[in-house]
Amino acid sequence: MKAPVIELEHVTYTYEMETRPALNDLSLLVEPGEWVAITGRSGSGKSALCQLLNGYLPRIGGGEREGVVRVGGVDPLEAQIAEIAGRIGIVFQDPDAQLVQGRVEDEVSFGPENLRVPALEIAGRVNEALAAVRLTEQRTSSVHALSGGQRQRTGIAAVLSMQTPIIVFDDAASSLDRASREQLLALLQQLHAEGRTLLTVSSRVDDIAAAAGRLVVLEGGTVALDGPAEELVRTRRDRLVQLGVLPQGAQPSAAAGAPQGKAQPGPAGHGTAAQPSASASAPRAKAQGPAGPAVSPLLELRNLAFRYPGSAATVLRGISMSLRPGEWALICGENGSGKTTLSQLLMNLLPMPKGVLFWEGREASRMKTYELAEQIGYLFQEPEHQFVTSNVLDEMLYGPRLDMSLEPGAPVPEEVMQRAESLLEVAGLGGRHDASPYLLSGGEKRLLGAAAQFMSRKKLYVLDEPTAGTDYAGAKVLTNLCRTASEEGAALLIITHEPEHFEDEADTIFTLDQGELRRSPLR
C-alpha cells in the first residue's frame, strides 16, 4: 500500500474571532493518484480544509490548528513556502484572492518564475496552461478586464503552470459557464490519467464531483460520508439530500450530472416576514405580459453600444431592453459575453454613453450613482467586494442606517432590527451576528450579500451570479428572497449561469452572445 500524500489526523481548526471550529476532529487520508471530490453545504469547512493543506491557514490567515496535517510527508505550517509550492497547488474559490499580476501571461508565469524554473521551460508551461483553459487569445489582456469566469480560468492556468503532483480545486467551477465546466471536467480527467492527485471541492454533488472516484461529504467540519462517488449517489441519496448536496426529488441517475431541469432543492422557508411560507412552497403566479403594456418601464436601454476606454473592441452592441415593476428577467451567456459589464453600466459604475439608459423616463447618465443606488439594489459577483463592516449584523444594518442618516453603530428602529434578524435566520446566519463577513464560506458570503441588499426595499434588484458556489438549500433561499421582493412590486434582473434555479419564476430570459442581446424562449 502506498503512503498517503495527504494526511489529516484529528484536525480541529478555529478561525480568529470565532468560537465555533470550522473543522472539528477531522481525519482524512488521500493516496497518490486519487481523485477525491469533497462536498458539503456552505459553512461545512471545505475552504478551511483547502487552506490548511497549503499552509495559508494558520500561517497567514491566523486562527488555531490542532492535530496532524502532512502534505507529501511535510507539515505545511512548518515547511518552507517554496517546498509546499512544489508539492501542492490550490485554485482558490475567489480567483481575485490569488491573482497578483497585471496581464494574463504574467500571472501564469509568476509561480514558475519564483521557483526559478528556466525561462524557456516557463514559456512552454505558459503556452500549455493557457491552451488548456482556452485563454491563449487573452494572454496579453489585463486580468482585471476579464469576466469572472475568465479570471477563474486564469487562476487555474496559474496553478497548472506550477506542475505540482497535487492540485486542489476549491469550487473552481462556480463562476464558469456550461461549456467551460465541460472543458474543466475534461481537463481534470486528463490530469487524473497523468497520475496527478486531485481534490475537487464544491457545495453540490455535480457532474465534476460524480466523476471523481471517491466522494467525501463534510458536515459541521467533520466527515459525514466517505466512499465511491457512484455508489454513494446510488445508495445514500436520501442522506445526500439531507446533507444539502443533492436537490430534493433528484433521481440517482440524474443527480450525478449537471443540475437537471427544475428539480427543487430542500426546504429553506421559515415562514418569516422576510420570506412568507406561501411563497416558499410554490412558484409565484406570473402576470400576463408581466406588467401590462400601459405600465411605463422602470428601466429602459435604447441601442446601447460600449467599449472600455482605451480598447478598440466593442463589448456590447445594439442592446435594447426594458424592465417594468414586478418583472423578473434573467440574463444568461458565456463567460466574457458582457453580462457583468452590462450590469455595472446599469449602476453607473462604468461610464454610460449618453442617450441610451433611462430610469423611470429620466436619462440615467444625468443621474449620480448614489441616486440610482437609492432605488436599485446591486449584488456584486464577488459579494465580499462590497462588504464594509466588521460583523454580519452591522453589514445588514449598514444600508438602513444610511437611508435614515444614522451614524455607524447607532441603534436602529425595532422593526428594522427584526427584519435584519429575520433575513439572517432565512439565510442560515441567525447565530452569526458577530462573525466577520470575510471569514464566511463562499456560499454564506453570497447569502449575506443578497440579504443585505434586500434589507432596504428598492424598485429594482440586480444580482450578479447570486447562486454561484451555494448549496441547493442556499439557492432555494435566494429564490425565495427574490420571489418575496417581486411580490412586493420590485423588478429583478438576475445574471446567471444557472437559470434552472429561476425558470419557474422568471418572466423573461435574455441571452448575451458576443455582445449582442436576444430574448430567449422560456423552457
User: Count of CB atoms within 10 A of residue 80's CB?
Assistant: 10
Q: How far apart are CA 501 and CA 498, in angstroms?
A: 6
Q: Is the pLDDT of residue 258 over 80?
A: no
Please check whether the two domains, 1-87+202-248 and 324-349+368-520, share a CATH topology: yes
Helix (H, G, I), strand (E, B) or coil at 424: helix
User: What pLDDT score was predicted for residue 194?
Assistant: 95
Residue 499, preceding peptide bond in cis (omega within 30° of 0): no
Residue with cell 433575513: 423
Instruction: Report the candidate in 448, 442, 465 with the shortest Cα–Cα distance to residue 380.
Output: 465
Grade residue 281 by pLDDT with cuts at 50, 70 and 90.
very low
Grade residue 284 by pLDDT with cuts at 50, 70 and 90.
low
Phi, psi of 197 (to 5 degrees): -90, 125
What are the Cα distances from residue 253, in Å, to 191, 230, 232, 498? 25, 9, 12, 20
Q: Percentage of the chain with pLDDT > 70? A: 91
Q: How far apart are CA 354 and CA 345, in angstroms?
A: 12
| Alpha-helix runs per DSSP H in 252-405 | 252-255, 277-281, 339-346, 369-373, 392-403
The helix (run of H) or strand (run of E) holding residue 377 is strand 376-379
CA 8 from centroid of its chain's CA atoms:
27
List, for residues 180-232, the tens digit of each pLDDT value. 899 999 999 999 999 999 999 999 999 999 999 999 999 999 999 999 999 99
* CB neighbour burial string for 360-395, b if at least 16 within 10 angstroms, e if fewer: eeeebeebeeeebbebbbbbbbbbbeebebeebbbb
Q: Percentage of the chain with pLDDT > 90? A: 72
Grade residue 266 by pLDDT with cuts at 50, 70 and 90.
very low
Residue type, 85: A
**How do the domains of the chain map onto residue ranges?**
1-87+202-248, 324-349+368-520
Q: Is the pLDDT of residue 249 over 80?
A: no
Q: Which three cell numbers stand for residue 128?
A: 500549455
Looking at the domain covering 1-87+202-248, what would its CATH class be? alpha beta
Cross-sheet strand order for the sheet of 357-359: 316-323, 299-306, 357-359, 362-363
Grade residue 293 by pLDDT with cuts at 50, 70 and 90.
low
Grade residue 409 by pLDDT with cuts at 50, 70 and 90.
confident
**Exposed, middle or buried: residue 491 (CB in 10 Å: 0-12, 13-18, 19+)?**
buried
Q: What secondary structure, in 3-state letters, does 25-50 show?
A: EEEEEECCCCEEEEECCCCCCHHHHH
Grade residue 256 by pLDDT with cuts at 50, 70 and 90.
very low
HSE value, Cβ hemisphere, 13 Å, CA-based, for 134: 15
| Alpha-helix runs per DSSP H in 161-227 | 178-193, 207-211
> For the residues 254-283, what does the mean pLDDT come to?
38
Q: How far apart are CA 154 and CA 462, in angstroms?
A: 26
214 near 35, Cβ under 8 Å? Answer: yes
490 near 406, Cβ under 8 Å? Answer: no
Q: How far apart are CA 498 and CA 464, in angstroms?
A: 11
Phi, psi of 228 (to 5 degrees): -60, 135
Q: Are strands 23-30 and 6-14 parallel, antiparallel or unpaired?
A: antiparallel
Intra-chain end-to-end CA distance of the chain, in Å: 51
CATH code assigned to 324-349+368-520: 3.40.50.300
What are the Cα distances from residue 393, in Å, to 40, 269, 360, 400, 406? 25, 21, 33, 12, 15
Residue with cell 471530490: 37
* CB neighbour burial string for 107-135, b if at least 16 within 10 angstroms, e if fewer: bbbbbbeeeebeeeebeebbeebbebbeb
336 near 324, Cβ under 8 Å? Answer: no
> For the residues 71-100, what does the mean pLDDT come to?
91
Phi, psi of 23 (to 5 degrees): -125, 140
pTM of the predicted protein model: 0.86
In the chain, count of helices (H) and strands (E)?
Answer: 18, 19
CA 483, 484, 487, 492 dihedral sign is negative
List, for residues 328-382, the tens digit of each pLDDT value. 999 999 988 999 999 999 988 888 889 999 999 999 988 988 899 999 999 998 8
Q: How far apart are CA 254 and CA 200, in angstroms?
A: 20
Q: How far apart are CA 9 and CA 27, in angstroms?
A: 4
List, for residues 354-368, the tens digit of each pLDDT value. 999 999 999 998 898
341 near 304, Cβ under 8 Å? Answer: no
- Calculated CA dihedral for residues 511, 261, 212, 189, nearest 10 degrees: -40
